[in-house]
Structure 1
C-alpha cells in the first residue's frame, strides 16, 4: 500500500510546484555607463626632502603632506629606514640586510 502511495504523493508535490505562478518580476535596470578615464596633472610620485645633518643624509618621503618614510644614510655604516607601516604616524625602524626580527626557516631535514 505504501509503495503505491509514495509515487502518488511525489506526483502531487510535483504538480503543485509546476502550477505555482512566480511573482511579478521587475526588469533589471541597465548598469550605469563607465566613467571616462580621469586625467589630472597630479603626479603620484612622493615629495622628497633631502637634509644633511652632520655626517648623515636624511631623505624624507611624503605623499599629500603625509610623512610615510625616512631614509637615513650615515657617512659610515649601514643605511636604515624609518617607515610608517600601519599609518598611525609612528615610524618603525627597517635596516638594510638581515634584520633581528626576521624569522629564518629552520626545518630538520635529516637526523642521524
Structure 2
C-alpha cells in the first residue's frame, strides 16, 4: 500500500501537467501544397504511331530516358539510356536489365 501512494501521486501530477500543456496548444496553420510541377516523380509519356509501330517516349524533367517500342509484328522491347545524353541500348525485359551488374574492367 505504501508503494502505491507515490505511484498514484506521480501519475496524477503527470496527468495534470499534460492537461495544462494541452490547454496551451494552438492549432497549426494548414501547410500549402507544393506548386504544380515542382517535384513531379511521374514521367511524361508521349505516344507516337508510325507505320503500325507504337513508340512510347518516357521523359523525366524533360530528359528522354526510355522508349518502349511495340512493333506491329514481334515482341515489345525497350530502348534505355544508360547515361544522360548517351546512346540507347536495346533491352527485351526491364526486370532482367536492372539486375545485370555492369562494371568497367579495362579501359584504354
Counting helix residues as a fraction of each chain, which structure ranks higher?
Answer: 2
Structure showing greater radius of gyration is 1
What TM-score do you get using the length of structure 1 for normalisation? Answer: 0.48
